[in-house]
Amino acid sequence: MIKRILAIHDLSGFGSSSLMAVIPIMHRYGIQTSVLPTALLSTNTCYPDFRYLDTTSFISDILVHYKELARPFNAIYSGFLGSPAQVDILLKELDKLSTADTLAMIDPVMADDGKLYKCYDESMIHALRRLISRADIISPNFTEACFLADWDVKATYTDTELEKLCKLLQEKGPKNVIITSVPTGSPDNSRVLYYHPEKGLKSFNSEYIPTFYPGTGDVFSSLILAQNLNGVSLEAAISSAISFIYKAISYSIQHGEDAREGVLLEQLLWQ
């Protein structure tokens, strides 16, 4: 049976991020993708003067229609949400689109480098704390994980402290916690952490390339979900996604494209 997901992300018309990254990855893995666009943007936010359309007023209607179609989703995958109001809508409606077998993955997009994105205030932290309570898998970056757990964003934590951080997040509801961009104290690498209460804490090293490509978090989470839906363990999917991100960034640097467009995703997905 063909698998189907509901991807709840923004749609940027230019650049390999958000839904423009999610859709080709799911296509590559044979997964049908229905979308719920949480915002429409002319480009991703790395470009000046981008145009932005809030879709909050339309989201409820889309969800009602999807419920009327009575097509079950194998997974519901949430990324960028425009406001706490959108979180409220999802909390109210998502159970109507889920079965006991529906996997819920939430990438709580809201912050990086120790600070919230400009479009948010602290109310978004509180809203996403409520949303992750419904998740099977969450994939925050290190800053987002600290905000969700009400921790200070420090340069380094001990492994014992990091395990405590993961436990705090897991106790809020999600069964599996994946944290990206965890600092190691070295400028040459970072870590990805995976925590499950029965498996404990597992750490994956990731060589750091000193550059920035928007959408790599979307690519990372999408690869993990797509592979997991196809029977790959989360540990193996994380390792594979780390390798792909490193290869994609290296390849994109070599080909000299504008980094604001994101990595050269299409050229690599089919290799």
Domain boundaries, given as residue ranges, for the chain:
3-269
Residue 256: the pLDDT is 82
User: Would you say residue 184 has pLDDT above 90?
Assistant: no
Query: Do strands 3-12 and 115-116 pair parallel, antiparallel, or not at all (unpaired)?
Result: unpaired
| Amino acid 122: pLDDT | 96
- Give the model's pLDDT for residue 220: 97
For residue 187, pLDDT beyond 80: no
Going by pLDDT thresholds of 50, 70 and 90, the confidence category of residue 49 is very high
Per DSSP (E only), the strands in 156-239 are 176-183, 189-196, 200-207
Contact 208, 190 (CB under 8 A): yes
The residues facing 259 across adjacent strands are none
Strands 115-116 and 111-112, sheet pairing? antiparallel
What distances in angstroms separate CA 226 from CA 85, 199, 217, one per listed residue? 28, 22, 14
Q: Return d(Cα 47, Cα 181) in angstroms, integer.
A: 23
Least confident of 15-24, 171-180, 192-201, 208-217: 208-217
Mean of all residue pLDDT scores within the chain: 94
Q: pTM of the prediction? A: 0.95
Residues 145 and 21: their CA atoms lie apart, in Å, by 23
Mean pLDDT of 201-216: 90
**Residue 271 above 80 pLDDT?**
no
User: What class does CATH assign to 3-269?
Assistant: alpha beta
DSSP, collapsed to helix, strand or coil, labels residue 110 as: coil
- pLDDT reading at 266 higher than 90: no
CA distance 33 to 2: 11
